[in-house]
Amino acid sequence: MFLLLFNLAASRVLLSNSEEKAFVSWMRNTNNYFAGDEYHFRLGIFLSNQRFVQSHNKNEANHFKLALNKFAAYTPAEYRSLLGVDSSRRLDNSNIRPKARKTLTVPESIDWREKGAVSDIKDQGSCGSCWSFGAIVAQEGAHALATGELITLSEQNLVDCCNIECHGCFGGWPDKALTYVISNQGGKFNLLSDYVYTATEGTCRFEDYIKVSSIFGVQGVTQGDEDELKFQVGSQGPVAICVDCSNASFQLYSSGIYSEPKCKKYIYNHAMGIIGYGSENGEDYWIVRNSWGLSWGEKGYVRFARGSDMCNIADAVFYSIYQ
């Protein structure tokens, strides 16, 4: 009996002095503070994720690392709320152009950040508006390549105004957002500096601000064709994508080339943008821009394994045709 009590006491001391200390440090670093019952509830989630991160990072077969980032104490429901692609939609081929004759030679690697076609990393907050960020990545890139000028466009404009299969903070699709702009805003956008992001859905105020940029059409690539996707990104610039990011390995991603065998085929729940591609130590990757702020991943970016349609990365691809 004495030994049992001693072990229980020792366990509580160990938790207090190591794991709980790590949790308190995490709260301080991420500006998340909990008290009472919620403190213990979040501590339990954090400790579970801590063990998952440690186990993953010890496995040398994994080519990417995890970290206890700002989502380390999120419930599954809270994490799913960030994944703002309407997964009930079935893809069609209505916006897929016939395969282009690849008369151009694209480089073996490219990073459109280095060529002035990608704006700074943004943060969607707790709003499931990733679809609007994906759409804007594609349009900002198309505008920069057509005009030589990088401008920063407003996602809030789309969150507030788009009503074609868009549901504000509760999901949408990048191509539907761009189609809305063509049909209802004359192909024009607002600047982020005018129509600022609030991470909530409000009243549409498109007419209140200067109209900029221009879009003529939205197209895609053949579903699952990474060669065609490489050609499109390498020759025409950034594109919007929808992928399966439902796994904890993506939630806690920190660095490296992401590869997740648990991704489900034909499941699309998060929108981002591909802004380049390359290779490292013989492993090909896509450079993908997320909308979860600079503290997540590789300063807001994630590299996806290229060549196996990882997490459906080449299935739902959309790009803007600048007018």
Flag whether pLDDT at 99 surpasses 90: no
CA dist 91 and 183 (Å) reads 20
pLDDT for the residue numbered 92 = 64
Q: Considering 69, 127, 190, 270, which one is annotated as catalytic?
A: 270
pLDDT for the residue numbered 102 = 56
Flag whether pLDDT at 220 surpasses 50: yes
Q: Where do the domains of the chain lie?
A: 18-62, 76-322
pLDDT for the residue numbered 16 = 55
Give the angle 300-301-304 at the CA atoms, nearest 5°: 155
Mean pLDDT of 203-213: 97
pLDDT for the residue numbered 5 = 33
Quick: pLDDT tens for 251-271.
999 999 999 999 999 999 999
Q: What percent of the chain stands above pLDDT 90?
A: 87
Structure tokens at 21: 């200390």
Query: Structure pTM?
Result: 0.92
pLDDT for the residue numbered 89 = 74
Q: Considering 69, 127, 130, 242, which one is annotated as catalytic?
A: 130
Q: Considering 157, 190, 290, 312, which one is annotated as catalytic?
A: 290
* φ/ψ of residue 252, rounded to 5: -110, 15
Candidate from 10-14, 79-83, 189-193, 229-233 with smallest mean pLDDT: 10-14
Is residue 270 part of the annotated active site? The answer reads yes
pLDDT for the residue numbered 18 = 84
pLDDT for the residue numbered 7 = 38
Torsion of CA 73, 28, 303, 148, to 10 degrees: 130
Is residue 290 part of the annotated active site? The answer reads yes
Q: Is 292 exposed, middle or buried (0-12, 13-18, 19+ CB in 10 A)?
A: buried
pLDDT for the residue numbered 3 = 39
Give the CATH architecture of domain 76-322: Alpha-Beta Complex (3.90)
Q: Are strands 270-280 and 239-243 parallel, antiparallel or unpaired?
A: antiparallel
Per-residue pLDDT band at 91 (split at 50, 70, 90): confident
Rounded to the nearest integer, the mean pLDDT of the chain is 92
